[in-house]
Structures are given as C-alpha cells and as structure tokens.
Structure 1
Amino acid sequence: MSKDDIHERIEARRTDLVSLTRELWEHPELALQETKSAELLATTLSEEGFEVDRGVGGMPTAFVATYGDEGPTVGILGEYDALPGLSQKPVSHREPVAAGEPGHGCGHNLFGVGSLGAAVAVKEAIESGDLSGTVRYYGCPAEETLVGKVYMARAGAFDDLDAAITWHPSHVSAPWKGRSLAMNSIEYTFEGQSAHAAQSPESGRSALDAVELMNTGVEFMREHVPEDARIHYSITDGGGAPNVVPAEASVWYFVRAPTRDTVERITEWVDDVAEGAALMSQTTAERRFLTGCYDYLANDTISDVLLSNMRDLGAIEYSEADREFAAELQSTLAAETIESRLADLPDDEREAAAERSLHARPMASFDEGTVMKGSTDVADVSWITPVAQFWAASWPVGTPAHTWQAVAANGDFAAKSAVYAAKVLAGTAYDLLADPSILERAAEELESTRSQEYESPLPQTAEPPTDIEVS
C-alpha cells in the first residue's frame, strides 16, 4: 500500500469522518466530562481492530488505542474537549444552540477525528504488510485545562514512543515550530473565622482579606519577574453576604514563563506571598496544585516531513459556498482583530491571506524562534519523545480560537480540514515507519535540544481536577 493508497482510503471515509466531527460538535463536553466523545472515538477505533486501554492516567475519558506489536511506534494525538459558554449554531451571527452551554471553539471536534482518520489509515497499511511498526491513537482529554497529557505523561503513556505527531485547527496552514510557555495552575484556599461583620468584627478573621493581601503582594512582584513571564489570577470564592466575615475564600493562579525552571522559581515566590497573606490576616492557607506543563519543543526533523506532506496535498479544497460563509463570519470580526492575527505571517503570505476569507494553501513555518503567549500540554509529550504538529486552515482568515465564529466554522465547512489533517498525519506516519532513519535523526535532535530529562511537574499526590473550567 503506497502513500497515495492511504490518502485514497481516507478519502473513501470522508463522509464517515465528517459525520464524526458533527456528532462531537453537536454534543460538546467540557474537560474531563467528555464521556460520550471519548466513548465514540474509542469504540470506533476498537471496531477498526485497535486494542483500547481506557482510564489512562486516572482519567475515565483518557484512552490509548494501539495497533501493531513490533518495530517503531508512532503516536498520533487526538483531543475532543469543548469550552464553556461557547454554544453557537453554524450561522453568521451570534446565536447559541443553548445559552450558556459549551461549544467547540477550539476545533477539538475536528482535531480528535482527523487524528483518528490518520491512525486507521496507518493501521490498514500495517495490516496489509506494507508497513512495519505500531501506530497509537492517544485520546487526550482536558487540553483546555492543560490536564490530559500531563497526567497521561506522569502515568508513562508516552515513554516508549519513537515519535508523536498531531495538528490543530487555525486560520492558516503551516507547521508549528514556535515555543510555548510553561505553566503552573494552583488554587490557594484560606481559612479564617466567621463573625458578624458589624456586631463583632473583632471575633472574625477574614479569608477574603487574605486573598486580597495575596493578590496585592503578587502585584508588587510583577516588576521583579522576567518581562516574558505571566501571572494571572481569579477569585473563585470570595465569601457570601457582606455582613458575614468570610471564613473561607479561594484564588486560582496561573504562573507562566518560557522555561519550566523559571515557572518553578516564580511559583515558589507566589507560595511565599500566600503564606505571608495568611500571617497578616491570621488565617491559614492551603495550596492545591491543579496542573502544570512544560514549554513546547518542536522537532524540526519531523516538522519538515509534515510540511513535505502538506505541500504534496496542496490546499484544502473549500468550495465557493464555504468561502462565502467564511466571508460572512469574517465580516463580524473587528478589523484590528484580523490585523493582529495576520501580523505574525511573512509579508507575502500576509498580503495573500488578507485578500481571502479562507487561506488554505500550506506555508512554511512562520513562528520558528518565537514564543507564543499561551501554553499547551503537547509540550510535555515533546520533552519525552520527538513531536511535530501543524496548523490547518479551518477558520476564516483572522479568526481567533475560542470565539463563536470558530464554533460556527467548526460545525460547518471546517470539517474538510479534519479530512486534510488525516491525510497529512497518515502520510507523515507512513514516512516515519518506512524510513526509521528519520526517527533516528529526530531522537538525536531531541537529545541535543532539551536541557534535561523530563520530570513530571505534578506532585505524586495530585489528582486530575474535575471541577475547573478554562476558556
């Protein structure tokens, strides 16, 4: 079976793959609540002959599907969690399916299915005897909360991989070679003493005072941390009625920086501030580590193979009707939003993209040497095994992720990008298994790039948090 045969197999499944993307889109589920989504994908892979291991990393919605038992092992990562409050019909104006409900604003309904289509196609090539090796599909929940792959990594799920490949919907198509920010996510809960706030305030010790003191202390930290670090917080429990001194209050922090070591150093300082706030308010502080992740290390060796496969396939074949709907969605975006999204592109690509509602042709990486101001749990996998990923043009030019416009596209024409992604990933996996020397070079590159062996950022006592939502 040649690579062209693999592409033809995927094309023959186009209707089924698009149907899967729509089924996930119609039943969006939040992080660690993706019961139906995970079961749909896991069952589909099981029926295709994969051996499925469920409940990986202590998460019921995490699974690993494997086919093959010898030779190199290539993993294909899939995601399927949605975002809170982004319910949206596939129309060009804001209209939720159900107000306040989740929606697929990051395209994980496409992501999970595109990766599945690739895994099945590679399995068929192995089954036919034309490829030697093992293919794995990783059902990764809770990417939006940066939980899934981190807990799977702690469980050793990626330890024996020779490489992992993946993708993500976006507004353009290109390999992703930029770094990302490492991150810690921690909740601090203060315990004080309740009292009548007017009658006997001297009897109370306000946990909310502790939260506010902590936040003030962190604000004074900002001028003394690196400029490329980020510290964000949200008061998740600030007490109840004003006439009751709050006995309990909580604040949730993200600490981000370009390196894991810097995140750890800043986190230690934030911990000290929390203890200081507790001392000043005569309360006690409890620290709950929710999750943490590394910075992403793109593997150039495999990224170049991805780009070669993207260029062989050419542009995603969107129809005129797709472009018209995309233009309608694009018209609802602010001009400065589109300009901001286009600013990172090379001049020639920026000019070409600015003239289109959909810019579907593949381009070379435009983010190499940069650090994006966000985090991803794919990063942890990239410190364990060589990883490459790419963006696929799924949304109108200039569309940011986590918007209702992205949700509308993800439930409509963007399904075509999932089929395209399946072909790119399958072709890349084919190349890696057919030519193990690529994997050898990729491993050498990783060894020379990473500054240390991977150690999980999670305390051994940390458990997957089922009560957090991140958008």
Structure 2
Amino acid sequence: MGKKQLVEWLDENKKTYEDQALQIWEHPEVAYTEAFASKLQISVLQEAGFSVVSGVGSVPTAFVAEYGSGKPIIGILGEFDALPGLSQKVSPVRDAVTPNGPGHGCGHNLLGTAGVEAVIALKQRIDEERLPGTIRYYGCPAEEVLSGKTFMARAGVFDDLDAALTWHPGNSNTPWNMPSSALTSVEFFFKGRAAHAGAAPHLGRSALDAVELTNIGANYLREHVVDGSRIHYTITNGGVAPNVVPDKASVWYYLRGANRAHVDELLERLIKIAQGGALMTETGVTWEIKAGAYDLNVNNTLNELLFSQKDEAGPLVFTEEDHKLAASLAASLDPSLQQYAEKRRHELGLAESDLLPTSFVNYQPTTKITGGGSTDVGDVSWITPIGQITTTCAPFGVQVHTWQATAAFGSPIGLKGMHHAAKLLALSTYDLLTDGGNLLSQARAEFLRSTQGKPYIPAIPNDVQAPVLV
C-alpha cells in the first residue's frame, strides 16, 4: 500500500518539481558557482522539514539534507552544475539564450531535482508509516569537473551510508551497468626567463619549450600504457607574444584508466616527463592536482532494484508535441552521431522508430569495456554500494554535452523523464527501508566482493582545496 501512495503523491506534486527544474535550467551555473541552485534546493528541503548542513567539504555550494533517525541510512545523490558554452533555447536549431553562456547540456537541472522530489515523497511515508531509518539528499556541485563529490567524500559525509542511489538523464531507460574510467586532472606550470626572441634569445629560458617537450614525451608514452588508458591535454598558457621568450607556460592534462591504480601510475610517469621537459630547457616546474575520480564500482543488486520498479512506477508517456520536437532535434545531429546512435540502438534492442524510448532495457555489456568517460560518482561507489539508472529525457541519439541536449533537458521531454526517475529512486529507497535489510545485505556483500578490501583513499591531496567562486 505504501508504494502505491508514494507514486500517487509524486504524481500529484510533479508540477512543483518541474517548476524547480526549469528554474535551475533558466539559471545555469558552472562548477563551484551553483549558488542559485544550491540555495533553491536547500530552501525547498528545509521547508519540507529536512535538517541541512551546508558548505560540506569546504565547498560553499555542497550540502547534505537529512530526515528520519537510525538505521538504515540511504542516500540519494543529486547534481546541479551546468556546462560552459551550451546555452540554448528549447528549439531544434542552434539558438543560445546567452551567446557563449552556460547551459544544462548534461541535464543536472533534472538530476538534482528528481532526488529532491524523491526524498520529500519518502518523508511522507516515513511520517505516516512511522518507518525507521534515515534518508539523505546530497547536493553535489562540480560533477562536470569531476571533483565535487571527492571533496565531500574526503570530509567523510558518505562513510556511514548503508547504500546510495542516483540516476542520470539519458536517451533510454536502462541501469548503469558499465564502469566508468578513473581520472586525474593535473596542470603543470613551467617558469623560465624572458628575453627578446630576436636580439637575445640565448638569454631566455622558454617555459613554452618545456610545455612542448612535455607534450612530446607524453605522446611517446601512449605506446606504453595499459589498454583503455587515455591521455588528453590542452595548453592553458603559451606565452604572450612571438618575440618574447615565454617565461611562463602551462599545460592541463586529463589522465584516464580502467582503475585508480592505472591512473596513479600514469601520473607518476607524466610527472617525470614534465620534470624532464624542465631539465632540458633549464626551467622550473610545479603541478597542481585539480581532480581525481575513481572508476565506477557497479553494484548489480541496486541496479536491479531500480530496474525492478518499472511497473510500479507506471508508464512513461510522451505526447505528439514531444515526438515532433524529438524528431527535429534528431534530424539536426551530425551523421556520425546518427551512426553511433544506430549502433547503440542495436545493442539495446530498440526499434528504429523508437525515438523516445518508453520501455526499459536491462542492458548488460557482453565484453569488457575500456576507455570512456568519468564521473565522481565513482568515488562514492568505493565507499558504499550505489545503484544508478538512466531514463529517457532526450531523443535517442542526442548525446549529453551538446546544445541539443540542453534543449531537450529544458523541454517537457526532460521533465517527464525526470519525474519517472524520481519514482524509481523513491520506490527503491522505500524497499531498502522496509524489506528487513535483505537487499542491503546483498548489496553490501556484492560491494565487498568487488572492492576486495581496497580502502577508499581520496585521489586529491589533503592540501588541495576546492575553489571558492561564490
């Protein structure tokens, strides 16, 4: 009976949370600047009766909201940061709200709001049924730079969780059964000596030469890394003018690998390469670790739990207008993205006409996946069992981090997928609170098998603090 009432409450109150998601979509804020979104969610949760601790991990926009008492303690993770350069109206043609401005191209306006919606719905059941246990909503900033949850984890806020759940806006309804890559973000700063490049080049020591030699060394390293490793870089400072030997230069690297140990080894080798670049040019070098995310430790028990709620959640229904917008957005995609979408469609067993999938597919990779993206959800997954699922919030083929995604995530398509995700999160958490600990025991046993006793050690050094930008 409780789950039926849970769904009814969510349906009755969905407009409230749709409005909140749109407010965040209309006020996009990039990593560590999410003052509007954080304040809005804190206000909503406090008004609902949750206690809130803000500034978690010395991150001004990070917070934890809690309701209930005792065990089990179940956390729902939310995010709310936007991406630079992806401002976009709800339109099938490129049309920025603010030229070059930020936009919610990863749907975090939906991701966080669904979590808020779910925990407030669960509060009603805790009160009416006098359920034991504690529910938490984690307001997690800066996922797009892969470090918000790491600073929160370093502060210990996930340590006492029995389990965590989250989701992500996508273009299909499927558990997140694929691991992500571990990652380290590191920037190298070289210091040399300026000189006139024409009249006295012999007096200069080029920091830019050190950057370029470092990049050459990194490119030769590529042959000698574990399969699935990735090395990306961009020069962040290359000097000010061609006729001045640059006394300062910098380069920013992302290192990815199948697990934390692989990435840590990559970092050790890259530091030696940078030191070599400095040695060859008689310059100095320092470096800063900007982020360090773990690979995602998939928990099939919790993923299956989220998937199992599909019938009780009710149907996901899109209108004719939704399908028209979806078709227009899909038609705007580059042919290479359309080809990739067809490959993915075949993997999921979806029909060619299924532009807005409403069915649920429990996709299981048949081969070991290497490479790919990263997320700081991975850090949490090495602290406590975590389940994750995607729901249809954009047309099939539309990838996150695109203007088409921003348009979809501000449209009724995205809002419907968000509301469905809130149901899956709430129903699954209700089961974890009421089944006598069986599911939690299974999830914990799987977690212990997969982590093999390896402790979680934050990959960001203790002396590195999150930037304070608000």
Q: Matches of 1:189 and 1:203 in 2, distance apart?
A: 20
CA drift of 1:362 comes to: 1.3
Q: Matches of 1:297 and 1:249 in 2, distance apart?
A: 37
SS at match of 1:233: strand
- Structure 2 residue 372 is the aligned partner of structure 1 residue 373: yes
Contact 2:260-2:294 within 8 A present in 1 as well: yes
Contact 1:344-1:366 within 8 A present in 2 as well: no
Q: Matches of 1:106 and 1:124 in 2, distance apart?
A: 30
Encode CA deviations 1:400-446: one digit per residue, 9 max, x unaligned.
11111111111112111111111110000000111111101111110
2:22 corresponding residue in structure 1: 22
Encode CA deviations 1:169-194: one digit per residue, 9 max, x unaligned.
01101000111100100000000011
CA drift of 1:310 comes to: 2.2
2:101 corresponding residue in structure 1: 101
Residue 108 of structure 2 aligns with an amino acid whose one-letter code is H
Q: Counterparts of 1:61-140 in structure 2 under 5 Å?
A: 61-140=61-140
Encode CA deviations 1:145-189: one digit per residue, 9 max, x unaligned.
001111100110100000000000011010001111001000000
Contact 2:37-2:80 within 8 A present in 1 as well: yes
Residue 462 of structure 1 aligns with an amino acid whose one-letter code is V
Q: Matches of 2:23 and 2:114 in 1, distance apart?
A: 13
- Structure 2 residue 463 is the aligned partner of structure 1 residue 461: yes
1:411 corresponding residue in structure 2: 410
Encode CA deviations 1:209-237: one digit per residue, 9 max, x unaligned.
10001000001101111231000001011
Q: Matches of 2:220 and 2:467 in 1, distance apart?
A: 30
CA, structure 1 residues 180+459, in 2 after alignment: closer, same or farther (shift >3 Å)?
same
Deviates more, 1:297-306 or 1:269-278: 297-306
Contact 2:59-2:468 within 8 A present in 1 as well: no
Residue 113 of structure 2 aligns with an amino acid whose one-letter code is V
Residue 117 of structure 2 aligns with an amino acid whose one-letter code is G
Of 320, 339, 362 in structure 1, the residue corresponding to residue 360 of structure 2 is 362
Deviates more, 1:200-209 or 1:121-130: 121-130
2:326 corresponding residue in structure 1: 326
2:385 corresponding residue in structure 1: 386
Residue 441 of structure 1 aligns with an amino acid whose one-letter code is Q
Q: Matches of 1:203 and 1:336 in 2, distance apart?
A: 50
Aligned-pair identity in percent equals 43
CA drift of 1:71 comes to: 1.9
- Shift >6 Å, 4+ stretches: none
Contact 1:131-1:430 within 8 A present in 2 as well: no
Q: Counterparts of 1:25-424 in structure 2 under 5 Å?
A: 25-346=25-346, 349-352=348-351, 354-367=352-365, 369-371=368-370, 373-413=372-412, 414-424=414-424
Q: Matches of 1:28 and 1:445 in 2, distance apart?
A: 38
Q: Matches of 2:69 and 2:285 in 1, distance apart?
A: 49
Q: Matches of 2:311 and 2:237 in 1, distance apart?
A: 51
CA drift of 1:322 comes to: 0.7
- Structure 2 residue 445 is the aligned partner of structure 1 residue 447: no
CA drift of 1:351 comes to: 4.3
SS at match of 2:310: helix
Encode CA deviations 1:313-371: one digit per residue, 9 max, x unaligned.
35421111111111111111133312313423555x4441x212211221113447534
SS at match of 2:214: helix
Aligned residues: 465
Q: Matches of 1:131 and 1:319 in 2, distance apart?
A: 37
Q: Matches of 2:158 and 2:342 in 1, distance apart?
A: 35
Q: Matches of 1:239 and 1:268 in 2, distance apart?
A: 27
CA, structure 1 residues 372+119, in 2 after alignment: closer, same or farther (shift >3 Å)?
farther
CA drift of 1:58 comes to: 1.0
Encode CA deviations 1:222-264: one digit per residue, 9 max, x unaligned.
1111231000001011110111111110100011000111111
CA, structure 1 residues 205+146, in 2 after alignment: closer, same or farther (shift >3 Å)?
same
Q: Matches of 1:356 and 1:97 in 2, distance apart?
A: 30
CA drift of 1:464 comes to: 1.3
CA, structure 1 residues 350+437, in 2 after alignment: closer, same or farther (shift >3 Å)?
closer
Contact 1:345-1:366 within 8 A present in 2 as well: no
CA, structure 1 residues 262+277, in 2 after alignment: closer, same or farther (shift >3 Å)?
same
Residue 354 of structure 2 aligns with an amino acid whose one-letter code is R
SS at match of 1:313: coil
Contact 1:290-1:465 within 8 A present in 2 as well: no
Q: Matches of 1:91 and 1:14 in 2, distance apart?
A: 24
Encode CA deviations 1:264-306: one digit per residue, 9 max, x unaligned.
1111000000000000010000110111011101111111110
Encode CA deviations 1:372-426: one digit per residue, 9 max, x unaligned.
6010100010000000100111111111111111111111121111111111100
Contact 2:7-2:313 within 8 A present in 1 as well: no
Contact 1:306-1:425 within 8 A present in 2 as well: yes
For structure 2, the residue ranges without an aligned partner over 5 or more in a row are none
Contact 1:392-1:421 within 8 A present in 2 as well: yes
CA RMSD of aligned residues (A): 1.4
CA drift of 1:312 comes to: 3.1
Residue 376 of structure 2 aligns with an amino acid whose one-letter code is D
Residue 455 of structure 1 aligns with an amino acid whose one-letter code is I
Contact 2:228-2:371 within 8 A present in 1 as well: no
Contact 2:78-2:139 within 8 A present in 1 as well: yes
SS at match of 2:143: coil
Q: Matches of 1:336 and 1:198 in 2, distance apart?
A: 46
Contact 2:186-2:290 within 8 A present in 1 as well: yes
Deviates more, 1:129-138 or 1:169-178: 129-138
